[in-house]
Amino acid sequence: MGLGDSHRRHRDGEEPAAAAAREVEEETGWRPGPMRPLTVIHPTPGIYDSQHHIFWADGATHIGPPTEDWEAERIEWVPLADMRGLVEAGKIVSGTSMAALFLAASEV
């Protein structure tokens, strides 16, 4: 299982699923399998016109180190069952990530 979002990062003419897959690969060094849309959220309606497309991938292939290694301090696979504890501990604070995890939990 993998998640990706494509907020503000798609290139001209790039579909949101392709943008999310590209971002996952650039930021993690893992190429996600086929991307399936879960939802689109608007994290700051009325303040900023932003859509976050959230996708699900059933697998990923490691292709090498991330090309944008400044995007994350640490990259690791974490069981979905551990996510609630990470949110409660303040380790995951992004609303977009929390929405994605909520939907992912209902997929398994």
The model's pLDDT over 83-93, given as tens digits with 9 standing for 90+, comes to: 999 999 999 99
Contact 73, 96 (CB under 8 A): no
Write down the pLDDT at residue 2: 45
Beta bridge partner(s), residue 68:
none
Q: Looking at the 3D structure of the chain, how many domains does it have?
A: 1
* Gap between the Cα atoms of 32 and 23, Å rounded: 10
The CATH number of the domain where 97 resides is what?
3.90.79.10
* Gap between the Cα atoms of 108 and 102, Å rounded: 11
* Gap between the Cα atoms of 70 and 54, Å rounded: 22
Element containing residue 53 per DSSP (H, E):
strand 52-57
Q: Does the reported pTM lie above 0.75?
A: yes
For 6-22, the pLDDT digits (tens) are 454 556 788 899 999 99
Contact 21, 4 (CB under 8 A): yes
For 43-80, the pLDDT digits (tens) are 888 898 888 899 999 899 999 999 887 777 788 888 98
* Gap between the Cα atoms of 7 and 39, Å rounded: 12
86: containing domain: 2-107
